[in-house]
Amino acid sequence: MAPRRSTIRNPAAEAQTFRARAVAGFLVAAAGLTLIAGWYYKLQVVDHEQYATRSEANRIKQRPLIPPRGLIYDRAGRLLADNVPAYRLEIVGEQVRDLEATLSGLQELLGISEEEIARYRAARRTTRAFHSVPLRMRLDEAEVARFAVHRHRFPGVDVVPYLTRRYPYGELFAHVVGYVGRVDENDLRRMDDSRYAVLSHIGKAGIERQYEARLRGEVGTERVEQNARGRDIRTIAREPATPGHDLYLSIDAELQQAVVDAFEGQHGAAVVVDPRSGEVLALVSLPSYDPNLFVNGISVADYRSLMDSPSQPMFNRAVSGGYEPGSTIKPFVALAGLEHGAIRPETTIFSSGAFRLPGQQREYRDWRPGGHGRTNLVESLAQSVNTYYYQLAMDLGIERMSAYLARFGFGEPTGIDLPNEAAGILPSPHWKRMARNQAWFPGETVISGIGQGFWVTTPLQLAQATAILAADGERHPLHLLLASQAGFDSPRQREPHAPPQRVVDEAGHLAAVEAGLVAVMHSPTGTARAQAVGMDYQIAGKTGTAQRVTRRGDTSVDLDDLPFHLRHRALFVAYAPVEDPQLAIALVVESGGSGSRAAAPVARRIFDAWLQREAGP
């Protein structure tokens, strides 16, 4: 009970009151500090484990170390895919005083586009303020220099070096090497690999995609002590990244360029193989595109123009393109006839210009009105006599013919080390039953004999089959990868490939067909004789013209009057030099008219380029 208030001062009572209150105050203070001590006991002693763990997690950051991606070389060691140091412009949000002024200043200085600024703003929203967000990738030297001069105006903005993929040859190898791009959700679903949470790029096409696992290397880790601003204080442990393997391709960059030049701007595809090994020396699909556009994110405008182009530059015609083989199939049908004894080299068949199946009205025509007369095997190839092969196909029967042609790899992927290879179609009753659920008709056997009807082949398959002819009947699996290397100072490991398989046993059969193919180029009756003028070596070749217009009755159509895309596709398969084949080629010229006029000259230019170079200057 407090003393009653009075109007008379009582110092002794006041002092007494003070003492009582002071004791109360002291007790309150003691209680308060005891409460604090108790609370701290809970934090520091009872919950110590939990906070110690969190303190450790604060301090130690595990950080991935990005491996450099493996380089890609051609067979002569020319760089097809390179990692080059580049510079990107980054902004650390928390260090910027006035973001709007900074952005507009940079816009003025470096011409940053609205698209880039919008992308930056989107990325910034999901990033902590002390992390950097890129504003522009791949600054050029002039931009780096211009920024360096004005750097003091832009605190928090920095030019950061990094490694980016570069394809020095641009369009030339887009359909072989492919390209890398930023990892997207599709890739994450496809790869299901935690690595890609760390790696920013992934092979999207071509060799880059095929050998992704070897090229990417292994991510390393580094445990660093960081301060609260994410700045490294020291490294505690380090498991270095393993760089990706460097790859050596069988491609010859000079030949590849020669092939592209040989097309003289026409669209189409070509595959050049060394028949002795199955190594692909050149693989061309035209038109092409610049893979460098994709590496750091392609702009909407560039992407749309690639996708909307009617000539489909992104489509790999050599690997995924399906073409009717036309007359280029004839050498293989001839081999089937020889193998099964349906013909012998000297067997002759009479061509009247029109072939009829017994009891049917439909005429199957020769390309020369009035026919070629009586021709043997060599002449049938040299003049590309359809009737010979109509008859041969009927004599063989579709089952035997397609079973034999399957040995050359028709109707299935060649197994080349590139993604998205098409299987094509090898016509057979079984195929028709499975694919269309329909019965086979004899007329379909007839046109299958000249590579028409259901036939679909890829340039790659035609090159493979031609290489078998050139290699005396041995099939060497097609491949692009020659060797790989774990680092520039480790040994080159040759890539093992499946051993060759024997497809044709009888050397005599091959010789007979080869004589016909040589006659195509070098006999006075050969369809491509005009292309062999002035040649100091011999080519074995076969022209083909895949029709896109069916002829009805006797009305003949003048091809040159047709719009371009309705003209025939010109095909040509060949190998040379005949006595010791170094190259086997299959090529398609789109919208190019006949095989002899449009495709054979392209092949001639390719052989010339190669053989002249081999002969030395």
Partner 1 sequence: MKRAARFATDLVGRVLAPLDLPLLLMLVLLMGVGLTVLASAAADAPHLVRNQAIRFGMGLGALLVLAHIPPARMRLWAPWVFLGSLLLLALVPVMGTGRSGGRWLYLGVFYLQPSELMKITVPMMVAWLLHRSTLPPGWTTLGACLVVLGVPVALTAMQPDLGTALLIGSAGVFAIFLAGLAWWRIGLLGLAGVAALPVLWFSLREYQRNRLLTFMNPDADPLGTGWNIAQSKIALGSGGLTGKGWGQGSQAHLDFLPEHTTDFIFAVLGEEFGWLGVVLTLALYLAILGRALWMASEARDSFGRLLGGALALSFFVYIFVNAGMISGLLPVVGAPMPLLSYGGTSAVSLLAGFGVVMSIHAHRRFGR
> What token pair was written down for 4?
């009653």
Stretch that binds partner 1, among 12-20, 149-157, 345-353, 519-527 (CB under 8 A): 12-20
Which of residues 43 and 118 has its CB atom nearest to partner 1 in the complex? 43
CB 605 within 8 A of CB 532: no
Q: Taking CB under 8 A as the rule, does residue 498 contact partner 1?
A: no
Min CB(27)–partner 1 separation in Å: 10
95, 221, 226, 257: which one contacts partner 1 (CB under 8 A)? Answer: 226
Question: Can residue 153 be called a binding residue for partner 1 (CB under 8 A)?
Answer: no
- Interaction of residue 19 with partner 1, rule CB under 8 A: yes
Largest CA distance in the chain: 152
What residues contact 382, with CB distance under 8 A and at least 6 apart?
A: 516, 519, 520, 523, 525, 526, 527
Q: Under the criterion CB under 8 A, does residue 12 sit at the interface with partner 1?
A: no
Of 45 and 533, the one with the shorter C-beta distance to partner 1 is: 45
Quick one: which of 12, 22, 157, 551 contacts partner 1 (CB under 8 A)? 22
DSSP code string of 408-454: TTTTS----SSSS----B---HHHHHHHH-----HHHHHHHTTT-TT
Helix (H) or strand (E) holding 55: helix 48-59
The amino acid at residue 517 is L
| Contact flag: residue 5 with partner 1 (CB under 8 A) | yes
Number of residues forming the site for partner 1 (CB under 8 A)? 50
Dist CA 497 CA 509 (whole Å): 28
Q: Does 227 bind partner 1 (CB under 8 A)?
A: yes
Instruction: Determine, following the binding rule CB under 8 A, whether residue 17 of this chain makes contact with partner 1.
Output: yes
Q: Check residue 94 for interaction with partner 1 (CB under 8 A).
A: no
Give 8 or 301: the residue with its C-beta nearer to partner 1: 8
Tokens of 517: 């193919």
Handedness of CA 507, 389, 544, 424 (dihedral sign): negative
Quickly count: other Cβ atoms within 10 Å of residue 115's Cβ: 11
Q: Which is nearer to partner 1, 231 or 436 (CB)?
A: 231
Q: Which stretch binds partner 1 (CB under 8 A): 27-35, 448-456, 508-516, 554-562?
A: 27-35
Phi, psi of 254 (to 5 degrees): -65, -45
Pick one of 148, 213, 233, 236: the residue that binds partner 1 (CB under 8 A): 233
In degrees, rounded to 5, the angle at the alpha carbon of residue 415 between the alpha carbons of residues 614 and 468 is 50
Q: Are the C-beta atoms of 270 and 294 separated by less than 8 Å? A: no
CB of 7 to partner 1, least distance (A): 6
Instruction: Output phi, psi for 554, to 5 deg.
Output: -100, -5
**Is 316 within 8 Å of 285 (Cβ atoms)?**
yes
Classify residue 406 by its DSSP letter: H
- Under the binding rule (CB under 8 A), the answer on residue 14 touching partner 1 is yes
Report if residue 127 touches partner 1, rule: CB under 8 A: no
Residue 237 binding partner 1, by CB under 8 A? no
* Residues forming a β-bridge with 268: 286, 589
Residue carrying the six token digits 């791009």: 181
32-71: which residues touch partner 1 (CB under 8 A)? 32-33, 36-37, 39-41, 43-45, 47-48, 50-52, 54-56, 58-59
φ and ψ of 444, to 5 deg: -70, -30
591 in Cβ contact with 565 (< 8 Å): yes
DSSP state, 328? Answer: G
Among 29, 101, 148, 549, binds partner 1 (CB under 8 A): 29
Residue 235 near partner 1 by CB under 8 A:
no
CA distance linking residue 153 with residue 84, whole number of Å: 29
In sequence order, which residues have a C-beta less than 8 Å from that of residue 5 and are 6 or more positions away? none
Give the C-alpha separation, 424 to 404, whole Å: 16
Indicate which single residue of 225, 261, 363, 399 sits in contact with partner 1 (rule: CB under 8 A): 225
Cβ closer to partner 1: 57 or 118?
57
As a whole number of angstroms, the distance between CA 238 and CA 30 comes to 51
Q: How far is the CB of 129 from partner 1 (least distance, A)?
A: 9
Active site residue 327: yes
- Interface residue with partner 1 among 25, 240, 297, 508 (CB under 8 A) is 25
Residue 142 interacts with partner 1 (CB under 8 A): yes or no: no
- DSSP secondary structure string, 193-208? -GGGGT--EEEEEHHH
Is 229 or 374 the residue whose CB approaches partner 1 more closely?
Answer: 229
Contacts of 566 (CB under 8 A, 6+ apart): 548, 549
Could you tell me the smallest distance in angstroms from the CB atom of residue 50 to partner 1? 7
Residue 9 Cβ, how far from partner 1 at the closest point, in Å?
5
For partner 1, give the closer residue by CB, 124 or 529.
124
Member of 12, 228, 439, 533 binding partner 1 (CB under 8 A): 228
Shortest gap between Cβ of 42 and partner 1 (angstroms)? 9
6 binds partner 1 (CB under 8 A): yes
- Toward partner 1, which CB reaches closer, 44 or 200? 44
Distance separating alpha carbons of residues 71 and 82, to the nearest angstrom: 6
Active-site residue, selected from the candidate residues 288, 327, 384, 594: 327
Mark residues 294-313: x for contact with partner 1 by CB under 8 A, - for none.
--------------------
**Which residues sit at the interface with partner 1, rule CB under 8 A?**
2-3, 5-11, 13-15, 17-22, 25-26, 28-30, 32-33, 36-37, 39-41, 43-45, 47-48, 50-52, 54-56, 58-59, 128, 225-229, 233
Active site members: 327
